[in-house]
Amino acid sequence: MSLRQVAILGSTGSIGVNTLDVIRVHPDRFKVTALTAAKQIDRLAEQCIEFKPAIAVVASAEGAAELSQLLRDKNISTHVLYGSDALVTAVTESGCDTVMAAIVGAAGLVPTLAAAHAGKRVLLANKEALVMSGDLFMQAMKQGGGELLPIDSEHNAIFQCLPERFTKSPSDHFGVEELWLTASGGPFRDVSIGDLASITPEQACAHPNWVMGRKISVDSATMMNKGLEVIEAFWLFGLALEKIKILIHPQSVVHSMVRYRDGSVLAQMGQPDMRTPIAYGLAWPERIHAGVAPLGLAQLANLSFSEPNLTQFPCLGLAFAAARAGGTSPTILNAANEIAVGAFLDEGLPYLRISEVVERTLSALPSVAADSIELILSVDAQARQVARHVIEGLK
Ligand code: NAD
Ligand code: MG
């Protein structure tokens, strides 16, 4: 068993911390080569002191100075860098063979793409990167020759339920008829849309089953998360959009399913704990301890499944429309959603306006072919500007 060298983009976030939890119990298998964070300098310093990576990256020069001082005090020789180019350096120069892509949002795109080009094993949590640039990203993975392992629990479940041959050759479907993505329905599953007007960020972030970062928690409440996941599944598994279905499953025990031509449905089950898909991706094709409690099926009263209600979750309909439109529509959807969610969390934009901002941004901009990364980044910037303008108009 060779030592896997791991760079973690977004190590101070929910996925980053869970990744280090798994790595911590397997020092014989994994070595951390790079850790990155935007602003949480104290937490990053603690991580660097424990895991001694070659490189650490933060967003600003001030943050880098603060981190350098904290590490000098402890005689840690980690090289501290800052800025977005340094995220790429962490991937290409730290000596890693594996990259956990766990930055939230579009900020993760460029370093994740660099990992794909460089032929690394990419553990993909940062679904926004794939939503923005699915075609280019999958091409980059192919050219780079590395392995792509989905970390999003639904996609990890589907990956586990597909034949291994499928993932090597998605054009031949091996009897796969449909992918069923499960969704808890979030904290407002049974709340009528009229009662959502005064929802606060704290209420939206209180997910019933999963503990996650604030942006994805809001996306789960609006179900934009599931919309982004449909687009993510489309690119990862190469099936037509009509074959990707959503099932509301409030217990979050079945993490997703694959329906086959012969009538079989394969499901992956487990606790709602991200350490399971993270451990799976880190050790694949082996299985290692993840520190996750065993699933006690006999203790569960029931497992239920139902169809989602698109009227109650307008973001889901917007994501399907953007997926069908293709081109840069998913990039625009993602950018507008990031701005609207940020405004809801930090500037008091009413909860029900999130979908309105996304819808108006999508109709203000044309969808064009997403054929270069420069174009995708410029459409992303333009959509952010339009979304900000829409929000100003709503104030
Ligand atoms: P989080 O907010 O907890 O952490 C985000 C990390 O990214 C932090 O380390 C932060 O410092 C860093 N970061 C944020 N903005 C940055 C920027 N502009 N530049 C550089 N670094 C930046 O988020 P999370 O919940 O861990 O989610 C991370 C990604 O994983 C998201 O794309 C999310 O959709 C996906 N994901 C998360 C979960 C989960 O359970 N948390 C499950 C499935 C998928
Ligand atoms: Mg998910």
Closest-lying ligand to the alpha carbon of 102?
1
* d(C-alpha 42, C-alpha 311), whole Å: 43
Q: Is the peptide bond before 285 cis (omega within 30 degrees of 0)?
A: yes
- How much is the pLDDT for 296? 92
- How much is the pLDDT for 326? 97
Whether the Cβ atoms of residue 144 and residue 119 lie closer than 8 Å to each other: yes
* d(C-alpha 27, C-alpha 18), whole Å: 15
Number of structural domains found in the chain? 1
Q: Write the CA distances from 295 to 286, 298, 329, integer angstroms.
A: 20, 9, 39
Whether the Cβ atoms of residue 101 and residue 115 lie closer than 8 Å to each other: yes
Please give the distance, rounded to the nearest whole angstrom, from the Cα atom of residue 154 to the centre of ligand 2.
5
Please give the sequence-ordered ranges of beta strands (E in DSSP) within the chain, or none if there are none. Answer: 4-9, 30-36, 55-58, 79-82, 98-101, 121-124, 148-150, 176-183, 244-248, 254-260, 265-269
The two structure tokens encoding residue 278: 């993270």
* d(C-alpha 298, C-alpha 141), whole Å: 41
How big is the chain, counted in residues? 395
In a domain, 31, yes or no: yes
In a domain, 202, yes or no: no
Whether the Cβ atoms of residue 7 and residue 100 lie closer than 8 Å to each other: yes
In a domain, 88, yes or no: yes
Closest-lying ligand to the alpha carbon of 104?
1
Q: Is the CB of 57 under 6 A from ligand 1?
A: no
Whether the Cβ atoms of residue 70 and residue 41 lie closer than 8 Å to each other: yes
Whether the Cβ atoms of residue 127 and residue 149 lie closer than 8 Å to each other: no
Q: Whose CA is nearest to atom 12 of ligand 1?
A: 10
Please give the sequence-ordered ranges of beta strands (E in DSSP) within 4-94, or none if there are none. Answer: 4-9, 30-36, 55-58, 79-82
Q: Whose CA is nearest to atom 5 of ligand 1?
A: 13
In a domain, 145, yes or no: yes
Paired residues of 150 in beta bridges: 124
The CATH number assigned to the domain holding 62 equals 3.40.50.720
Q: Is the CB of 59 under 6 A from ligand 1?
A: yes
Place of tokens 């589907």: 158
In a domain, 296, yes or no: no
Q: Which one-letter DSSP state was computed for residue 294?
A: P
In a domain, 369, yes or no: no
Q: Is the CB of 216 under 6 A from ligand 1?
A: yes
Q: Which domain holds residue 125?
A: 4-150
Closest-lying ligand to the alpha carbon of 226?
2
Q: Whose CA is nearest to atom 27 of ligand 1?
A: 104
Please give the distance, rounded to the nearest whole angstrom, from the Cα atom of residue 14 to the centre of ligand 1.
7
- How much is the pLDDT for 340? 98
Whether the Cβ atoms of residue 98 and residue 2 lie closer than 8 Å to each other: no
Q: Whose CA is nearest to atom 20 of ligand 1?
A: 38
Task: Give 316-348 as a DSSP string.
Answer: HHHHHHHHHH-TTHHHHHHHHHHHHHHHHHHH-
In a domain, 76, yes or no: yes
Please give the distance, rounded to the nearest whole angstrom, from the Cα atom of residue 265 to the centre of ligand 2.
20
Paired residues of 79 in beta bridges: 55
Distance of CA 170 to the CA centre of its chain: 21
pLDDT tens string for the chain (395 positions)? 689 999 999 999 999 999 999 999 999 999 999 999 999 999 999 999 999 999 999 999 999 999 999 999 999 999 999 999 999 999 999 999 999 999 999 999 999 999 999 999 999 999 999 999 999 999 999 999 999 999 999 999 999 999 987 776 666 788 999 999 999 999 999 888 888 989 999 999 998 888 899 999 999 999 999 999 999 999 999 999 999 999 999 999 999 999 999 999 999 999 999 999 999 999 999 999 999 999 998 888 899 999 998 888 999 999 999 999 999 999 999 999 999 999 999 999 999 999 999 999 999 999 999 999 999 999 999 999 999 999 999 97
Paired residues of 149 in beta bridges: 123
Using DSSP, state whether 262 is helix, strand or coil. Answer: coil
- How much is the pLDDT for 170? 67
Whether the Cβ atoms of residue 296 and residue 341 lie closer than 8 Å to each other: no
**278 phi and psi, to 5 degrees?**
-65, -45
Closest-lying ligand to the alpha carbon of 105?
1
Q: Is the CB of 252 under 6 A from ligand 1?
A: no
Q: Which one-letter DSSP state was computed for residue 121?
A: E
- How much is the pLDDT for 40? 97
In a domain, 332, yes or no: no
Place of tokens 């064009």: 368
Cβ count within 10 A of residue 117? 18
Q: Is the CB of 13 under 6 A from ligand 1?
A: yes
Place of tokens 């190590």: 11
- How much is the pLDDT for 192? 84
Please give the distance, rounded to the nearest whole angstrom, from the Cα atom of residue 103 to the centre of ligand 1.
4
- How much is the pLDDT for 193? 81
